[in-house]
Structure 1
Amino acid sequence: MEKRKIAAVLAAATLAATVSACGNDKDNGNASPSASAGASSGSSASASATATATATASASAKPAKDKTPVSFWYLWGGAEGENVEKLIAEFNASQDLYEVKGLSVPDVQKVVVGISSGDGPDITDNFSNNTASYAEKGMLEPLDEYIKKDNYDLSDFVPAALEGGKYDGKQYALPINVNFNLLFYNKKLFADAGIAEPPKTADELLADAIKLTKVNADKTIDTLGFPDFPLIYYTTGMSMAFGGSFISDDGKTLTPDNPGTVEAIKLMQDYRNQFGVGNVVKFNAAAKYMDATDPMFLGKQAMRIDGPWFGNTVKNVLKKDLDYGVAPLPGPAGHPELAGGGEVSSSTFFIPSNAKNKDGAWAFMSWLMSKEGMTKFNSMFANLPARTSVYDDPALQSIPDFKAFADAAKSPNLKAFPVFSGQTEYGKLINDEFELAVGGKQTAEEAVKHMKDKSAGLLK
């Protein structure tokens, strides 16, 4: 899941252009993330192989007699794609009306093009940060009537995750999981530095990070004390953890110049200035995320801001022996009421507005989003379900760090990034100005002013 999220952020600008070019089916066109977010797991050999194998299997398989076919394109590949196929097979065996045919298409732009040509799927997945732009282009089918007709219960969904699938008062997508970040820390490095517990406030975070940092004779960073890498997981999430919000309560004004964003920038600036901006940037440039040489796995990074996939990758994928702890993101000093804050996104499923079998697509989606279906999906993917009512299910308890994330998901201070048609562009300009500031190119105040000025007019 983390690869989909990283690729989603890297592809955001390209995806926005593709969607704009496609338009919608009202004007002869059509249609994460994140991080979770356009969503793509890239064009790796394993993903391509899965796509080819799945396509061949789907083409040769004969649906059960009298069952109506439902086309499902999904962005997962490799082992994750195989898990999706297991769920598809279970749904097909559970009822006599529909036969879902899965196809791994781990490239979000191909999905968009497929839908715009009229040859796309009946149901597909993406990240919540694409909901608004897709809905405005007319590519998404509203789900409200299906939900109402079936009296489908959404009361136990994490509110911020459910909001990520809404646009202009309508529900266009449903979340299968919840993605947000917590603070991971190396227990041995903390003990060696004489630090008994993880930081709870911004001030404690900076003080601990300075103690935990080790430098070489030439002043370059040997061990990174601050959760500076990967930078992508710090920006908006830490702003929200410090009480910031990127839109006004009435939803009419974008507010990137909130105090939380200023504090998040200044905190990273203070750390980088202590050890040299160039030295930290050099360390980050050499670091590789989530492979055997990741600095966190080598004991060269004391703290990491990351998501629920972290522990599964460490323990079950890379099988690393890393003694780490998990804690909420630090909040602003003197404001205990803001504890447990952060940014929520999710992987979502939607039905294209020009789908040929919308009823079948909803039948599969509602099955997958049920308590049982969601539990099975997330136990396979080692993710946190979007329904809090399943958090005590025994099948989920073996997921690394599940309890820590399940407890944190109940915090009322988790927020979703604003959902509107320009949210991809908004997120990018925030990240760009943030990076300029922590790179020593501008002050925090200048950064948020530029964010405010450049986002003017985005919210229509």
Structure 2
Amino acid sequence: MKRWTKLVVGAAAVALATAGCGSGGGSSDAGGKTLTVWLMSGSAPTSLTDALNKEFSDAHPGVKVDYRVQQWDGIQQKLTTALTSNNPPDVIELGNTQTAQFAEQGTLLDLSDSVNDLNGGQWLPALKESGTWDGKQYAMPFYAANRTVIYRKDLFAKAGITAPPASNAEWLADIDKLKAANATDPDFQALYLPGQEWYTLLSFIWDAGGDVAKQSGKSWQATLEAPEAKAGVAFYQQLVNASGTRAPKDTDEAKPQQSDVFAQGHVAMMIGLPWELAGAVKANPQLSSQTGAFPIPSRTAGQAAPVFLGGSNVAIPAGSKNADLAKQYLKLLSGAKYQSQLARAGSVPGTSTDTSGLDATEVGAAMARAARHGKVTPITPKWGPIESGENPLKSMLTAVLTGQKSIDAATADANRAIGQALSG
């Protein structure tokens, strides 16, 4: 979840001084009730939360909003402690891969009957799914972000490329043109693609019709050995081999930070998030006028590949003493007024199909277009340890790209590891 918070931090700094940071939960004071709200650092601009809290307080005389900004570092344990206490907060933000775990533990309030009140008709399907568990809705989408291809317009023009590629075939052809046009630059990379960028791998697997796992009843089965999943791995390998990337094959986009590599001026494309472009521009301001973005291309011409939608949900703890007020807070947050502010800050709004606020930048517009085809990882509490531990998808990619294993052998090993984790 941490990687998604950086997106909005780059667009609108959060003034932590305006909110106390503590571990106390909801309470009632002498003047009336207190609604305790925990949102995460970097999730929403201060201008949004200030206006939201004031409007809520004005509409509920005698109710005080105790708004507390939390840090992602250590939040899992902090939430676990708070949600099992006798006095939890009333509204909390969760990473969308955390929600199923807390829902399974019975520490979140069932919101199934409130979906319509929370603008549920406009929720993106993948975001709605991320807040469900066992057929019930336990969280409302807050915001999301997804990867796009960030590229150098000047280098594309130099290579005679007049428009971004509209298919995988065009993408590979453009890579060849870029390499030919920059053959005199010994440090040139048409595409910087680290060996373990498994979120990008998901796009290729989904685009080929595959998945990492499928649900059957209440259980999950790993599906990496299916031909469609193998096709996604094969395209990742093809892209790495064609691109001329010098990225390490045994690390992800954070080691080194790919935004730092892009800023050096010898890379034509990277697959990344808006905050990564912001970081590159900060290091090399000339890139501000030279960069654009387009959705990750699909095998099918004219379409965008599905993308992983990472982000946050908001939920009400089951033990909240102010659940009815908390629902009113979520209802206000889900409205167009505040969702449009999230879009202008650079996020895909969680409860609105209006993403026009993202159109102010090319990367925002590309992100919004790709988000329509967004997906999420398996909605099960058992996925979190897979993702944060010895991720079999990362090991699989490294094995394939270094030639240690064939695609058949590597996918079989990863399939076995994921299957055991999902059923264990």
Q: TM-score, normalised by structure 1?
A: 0.74
Report if the CA contact (8 A) 1:215-1:223 is conserved: no
Shift of residue 348 of structure 1? Answer: 0.8
Corresponding residue SS for 1:295: helix
Among residues 22, 38, 48, which one is paired with 1:73 in the alignment? 38
Percent of residue pairs bearing the same amino acid type: 23
Among residues 396, 414, 417, which one is paired with 1:433 in the alignment? 396
* Closer/same/farther in 2, CA of residues 119 and 102 from structure 1, 3 Å limit: same
Report if the CA contact (8 A) 1:234-1:305 is conserved: yes
Map 1:304-453 onto structure 2 (within 5 A): 304-309=270-275, 320-332=287-299, 335-336=300-301, 339-379=304-344, 381-392=345-356, 397-398=359-360, 401-411=363-373, 414-427=374-387, 428-453=391-416
Corresponding residue SS for 1:71: strand
Give the corresponding residue for 2:161.
Answer: 195
Amino acid at match of 1:129: T
Shift of residue 295 of structure 1? Answer: 2.8
Amino acid at match of 2:266: K
Distance 1:430 1:97 in 2: 52
Map 1:21-420 onto structure 2 (within 5 A): 50=16, 54-55=19-20, 66-77=31-42, 80=45, 83-96=48-61, 98-107=63-72, 108-109=75-76, 110-147=78-115, 151-213=117-179, 222-229=187-194, 231-248=197-214, 252-273=220-241, 279-281=246-248, 287-290=256-259, 294-309=260-275, 320-332=287-299, 335-336=300-301, 339-379=304-344, 381-392=345-356, 397-398=359-360, 401-411=363-373, 414-420=374-380
Report if the CA contact (8 A) 1:164-1:345 is conserved: no
Q: How many residues align?
A: 406
Distance 1:398 1:276 in 2: 32
Distance 2:186 2:48 in 1: 41
* Closer/same/farther in 2, CA of residues 312 and 173 from structure 1, 3 Å limit: farther
Report if the CA contact (8 A) 2:224-2:230 is conserved: no
Shift of residue 308 of structure 1? Answer: 4.8
Deviations 1:239-289 (A, max 9, x none): 223332233375653323344542333334345456888x43189787434
Distance 2:417 2:363 in 1: 39
Distance 2:327 2:275 in 1: 28
Report if the CA contact (8 A) 1:213-1:226 is conserved: no
Shift of residue 228 of structure 1? Answer: 0.5
Report if the CA contact (8 A) 1:215-1:222 is conserved: no
Report if the CA contact (8 A) 1:426-1:458 is conserved: yes
Corresponding residue SS for 2:247: helix
Deviations 1:174-224 (A, max 9, x none): 11223222222211111222333323333433343344359999x997232
Distance 1:244 1:327 in 2: 23
RCO greater where, 1 or 2, for CA within 8 Å and sep 6 or more? 2
Shift of residue 35 of structure 1? Answer: 10
Shift of residue 458 of structure 1? Answer: 4.0
Q: 1:456 and 2:419 equivalent?
A: yes
Shift of residue 403 of structure 1? Answer: 3.4
Shift of residue 70 of structure 1? Answer: 1.0
Shift of residue 388 of structure 1? Answer: 4.2
Shift of residue 329 of structure 1? Answer: 1.2
Distance 2:125 2:406 in 1: 35
Q: TM-score, normalised by structure 2?
A: 0.79
| Between 316-325 and 194-203, the greater mean CA deviation after superposition | 316-325
* Closer/same/farther in 2, CA of residues 388 and 367 from structure 1, 3 Å limit: closer
Report if the CA contact (8 A) 1:297-1:322 is conserved: no
Give the corresponding residue for 1:10.
Answer: none
Report if the CA contact (8 A) 2:158-2:181 is conserved: no
| Structure 1 residues not aligned, in runs of 5+ | 7-32
Shift of residue 339 of structure 1? Answer: 4.2
User: How well do the aligned residues superpose, as a CA RMSD in angstroms?
Assistant: 4.1
Report if the CA contact (8 A) 1:312-1:382 is conserved: no
* Closer/same/farther in 2, CA of residues 97 and 227 from structure 1, 3 Å limit: farther
Distance 2:362 2:32 in 1: 39
Shift of residue 166 of structure 1? Answer: 0.8
Report if the CA contact (8 A) 1:179-1:346 is conserved: yes
Corresponding residue SS for 1:355: coil
